[in-house]
Structure 1
């Protein structure tokens, strides 16, 4: 691969990373007004359908396109020609059969799924959700085709368009349901409808770009179609690639099927159990925002990580890896402790009361564990260990499922919080162990400054507690609370980063990897770069 091609690939990966970050922020942000408008019961309904919709979105955005991109690249390498007959049409048929099967399975078994979950009123919602899978084949095919040409722009544009339309329609539906006092179960229908319309809009954009860029001479051909290889790649590589983007999603998926029955066994009535799950799910947008902070800067540094670079530029390779892990650990640690400290106020600000604060503070530990796991897994994937990391995520899913069934009947939503932390702790442990095994010269613990992290966290903690003691009596409404939360998050986070810089948590090279590095270097005081090479 030439230097220009490599540069184009890195820029494309960074573009997708940026689109992914924006999409995650939108995905986290809209749930707050959704809960405010429909209450904990409405939020519970939405969260019961969201994991299935989330799986659809991941398949159409990451799983299938990754497999199609791989096939496209292999055909280019083998000097093959992608035509409608030998590439696009057969792949579309395969995707249509696969997603058609998922549609039929969910649609036919919707009553059984609803009974399994413990809420038969969700039957019609699951049937509407099943229809959304029929939008996946063409959407995923076009995204994969563009990515195979290293054109990431169309995927990024379609992703943001899809998310904006979905969020706008969902919030509009929540307003209508709230104002007209409609049945809150309609928010599940609205979620499915909004996802379908968003996917349709994204598909239209991709079709226009496809027709504009597709050479007309490639629309026909007589090459042999490797059906078995296509099916195998879509099923295996596509499913594995999708699973690697589902860490939080698989945890929520386990809660969808096990939490409500467990709460009923805990002794709650159905209404109380639904409200309790709605309260528990308040933690999801906050964890997602923390995960964006804890892993996005690190993941933005990873597009050029590969086995080839490990051999050709080992010193720079290890420097990038250490920097990625350091940013993930330090930022996720600060976000976790900071959110635990202000969680009661944030709960009241965002969700109008402080219900579930104790349990959700425990759940917030997931930010640190998930951020480090995602960063370590991304490094392993860059080195080619894609199936292994997918296996680790699948293992975390089963641990969460089993732990929910064991703990929730005795501890309620506290049991689910413990189960989440246990499953992510296992994921974090095995990914870091595997990373150490595959990169024995990484020596990450030697560059991790425990003293600097502990002192920076202590200073931030004392500052937040002291500020809260001074202004607690003044926080008499949500507007004042908003101002306080924004102020304490910015100043507390800034103080934490300042302490890390002054206490030598980073080398100069690592600081230069950060945004606004010129400004941050003014506060830097630490060891020389060669101490970390």
Structure 2
């Protein structure tokens, strides 16, 4: 029975991880056409409201559902079905109280927040963004119930549906802006997209739970607890562990324009500079998702109970997950830094901000490893510790922006983000040392990784030099083909070198897709 339950949990984690990767790729991908349609000014407006929309999304997808699933799991041992008057109504009431409070404070203070951001024209966009919190309880409670029953499919399907509707509305708004509408309409359109996406997700979820009448009943329980502590404390702590990148963007939204104005930059120029800086966000998100997606599937298999029973086995799986994350994030970071001039011109129309964005790409390395480590620590019941480390990172980012942007402009913002992520990474590493001793990390194949990175960069340089000698890459389409080709060649070269230099064990290869093909590239003796 325990084995069947473990398999069910792992299968559910895989479904959620896959849905998360797909939705995050969609979320990262649409921002390129959005910037192309609305320009850096429109992209700036969107990125000013995006952190607020992102907080609502994380609450509805991770924070509150995780807290509710914890409650449902605890109740499940005593009750075969969930009571509408004793469970659904009180839980929904607490969710609405939390979300409603955020909506009321945010909506009424939107003008002040816009003033704090240095751009009062953002007020209508901020009001629309805070309105999305009113829908959070509706999707959260149903997702949490299904997750508590180890049924992850409704959450996964609703997540993808929500993203498709949201992105569709945003792109339609961008086309509307391109045809002559006020550029600040993109902020309202982004919020409207989130609202429509949440409504679509709720319709799917409600249809799902309406068919499962065995899950709920109208029988009132004689003894029932208050759910307030679990919803607020557990839900918010879980949210913080998913908000590393989002929190950095929120700090930038609040401080970058005022800091640039303090440095003597004109308001219009500051808005454009912020839009240019935000070009790096979809690339960071995509790189981080690809590098840390395996770690998100690891959470259910790394628990305090398993650590106490089989410490060596759990430590081995932790090291393997971190190792894979380090390999992928190192390759993605190095490749993006090398190719960024071409990426900037082919994806974002021109080469503005290339130097600053190259510095910002270092965030991928730190954030990917940090998310993996915090996922592991979360499974080992270090939720409060990792949340406090994230809060510390936010303070470091805020202080870095206030000090560095007036001196170095957006270079300063990139430096502050890198320092903040490094702070979080070090904090997670120090916390994990209580479970995984330092000596366990020493045998990792650092030399092989270094040689693989060097080989990838040399191959990219040779290909780049050869192509520029024989071809004139005049035009974004040719640059795009060139960029995608070199990205594929670089990734393939890096992977083959990692395999040939023995950076992966045969056991680790067997957990990866296409493991039979990959095993052929292992050194002799390892591929038997």
TM-score bracket for the superposition, by shorter chain length: over 0.9
**d(CA) in 2 for partners of 1:66, 1:526:** 46
How large is the RMSD of aligned CA atoms in angstroms?
A: 1.5
Contact 1:240 1:387 in 2 (8 A): yes
Residue 453 (structure 1) aligned with residue 452 (structure 2)? no
Residue in 1 that maps onto 2:164: 164
Residue in 1 that maps onto 2:199: 200
Residues 429-448 of structure 1: pairs in structure 2 closer than 5 A: 429-440=426-437, 443-448=439-444
Distance 1:496 1:43, change over 3 A: same
Question: Greater shift after overlay, 452-461 or 310-319?
Answer: 310-319
1:371 to 368, 371, 391: 368
* 1:380 CA displacement: 0.6
Residues 21-60 of structure 1: pairs in structure 2 closer than 5 A: 21-60=21-60
**d(CA) in 1 for partners of 2:269, 2:98:** 38
Residue 396 (structure 1) aligned with residue 393 (structure 2)? yes
Residue in 2 that maps onto 1:477: 475
Residues 325-364 of structure 1: pairs in structure 2 closer than 5 A: 325-364=322-361
* 1:9 CA displacement: 1.0
* 1:258 CA displacement: 0.5
**d(CA) in 2 for partners of 1:490, 1:443:** 35
Contact 1:504 1:527 in 2 (8 A): no
1:55-89: CA deviation from partner (whole Å, max 9, x where unpaired)? 00000000001111111111123447520011000
Question: Greater shift after overlay, 156-165 or 463-472?
Answer: 463-472
Distance 1:90 1:459, change over 3 A: same
Residue in 2 that maps onto 1:466: 462
Q: Which runs of 5+ in 2 are unaligned?
A: none
1:238-292: CA deviation from partner (whole Å, max 9, x where unpaired)? 0001111111001101101011101111111000000000000000001111112
**d(CA) in 1 for partners of 2:27, 2:123:** 24
Distance 1:354 1:217, change over 3 A: closer
Residue in 1 that maps onto 2:95: 95
Contact 1:396 1:423 in 2 (8 A): yes
Distance 1:346 1:235, change over 3 A: same
Contact 1:263 1:409 in 2 (8 A): yes
Residue in 1 that maps onto 2:505: 507
**d(CA) in 2 for partners of 1:298, 1:138:** 29
Distance 1:74 1:298, change over 3 A: closer
**d(CA) in 2 for partners of 1:139, 1:58:** 12
* 1:319 CA displacement: 2.1
Distance 1:115 1:527, change over 3 A: farther
1:400-454: CA deviation from partner (whole Å, max 9, x where unpaired)? 01110111111100000000000000111111121122222x7443232121111
**d(CA) in 2 for partners of 1:522, 1:76:** 47
Contact 1:44 1:277 in 2 (8 A): yes
1:366-418: CA deviation from partner (whole Å, max 9, x where unpaired)? 11111111111111111111111111111111110111011111110000000
Residue in 2 that maps onto 1:177: 177
Contact 1:118 1:260 in 2 (8 A): yes
Contact 2:84 2:216 in 1 (8 A): no
Residue in 1 that maps onto 2:268: 271
**d(CA) in 1 for partners of 2:365, 2:215:** 50
Give the count of matched residue pairs: 525
TM-score scaled to structure 1, two decimals? Answer: 0.96
1:86-119: CA deviation from partner (whole Å, max 9, x where unpaired)? 1000011111111111111011101111111110
Question: Greater shift after overlay, 30-39 or 508-517?
Answer: 508-517
Question: Greater shift after overlay, 481-490 or 212-221?
Answer: 212-221
Residue in 2 that maps onto 1:126: 126
SS in 2 for 1:143: helix
TM-score scaled to structure 2, two decimals? Answer: 0.97
**d(CA) in 1 for partners of 2:20, 2:249:** 19
Residue in 1 that maps onto 2:491: 493
